[in-house]
Amino acid sequence: MHKQVKITVIDDKMREEEAASLCKWATARAGVIVVAPLLGTMALMANQIYLICKLGKVYEEKISESAAVSLLSSLGATYVGQTAATLIPFAPLQIPIAMGTTYGLGRVVTQWLKTGKPKDMSAFKTIYADAVSEVKKNIDVFKNDPKKDEPLGDENKKFNE
């Protein structure tokens, strides 16, 4: 009896499209949850952790939730400071920051995975800044993503490093 082997061919363009779609979905979701009472910043972080894990799957890399938390903390003061600013209960400030940090994170993680997961994240600062700027310029496009009301995972989950 012969075993059948299923082979799935995924080219780089398909991976990039899937990664971009995930980043846009998570970004749109960030704009919704950051202002939600009782969800807010913790749900935003859960959303970002799920994004990292899902991007790993796109590039056939297993990224555990604890590894995703470590990756978030390795992004440095800019990311941490901007995320902390979402604690200020003022939607016109919270929404663009949450969306910008999420999209920036997604673009950085995508490039990090594509380049073999280097330990030094400093090379990705420009990618992060450009992504945050892109969201600010096109915020309505991101806000109107049709998947914005669909969670990427359990937004009430508490993540510990």
Host domain of residue 89: 12-143
Residues 100-153 pLDDT 10s: 999 999 999 999 999 999 988 888 999 999 999 999 999 999 999 999 999 998
97 found inside a domain: yes
| C-alpha radius of gyration, the chain, whole number | 16
In a domain, 156, yes or no: no
Q: Is residue 158 part of a domain?
A: no
| Rounded (10°) angle between helices 12-33 and 40-58 | 170
The total domain count for the chain is 1
Q: How far is CA 96 from CA 28, 64, 102, 138, in A?
A: 10, 28, 10, 10
Asked whether residue 154 is domain-assigned, the answer is: no
Query: 161 lies in a domain?
Result: no
Q: What confidence tens digit (pLDDT) does each residue in 21-46 have? A: 999 999 999 999 998 866 777 888 89
The reply to whether 151 falls in a domain is no
The answer to whether residue 3 is domain-embedded is no
Give the pTM. 0.86
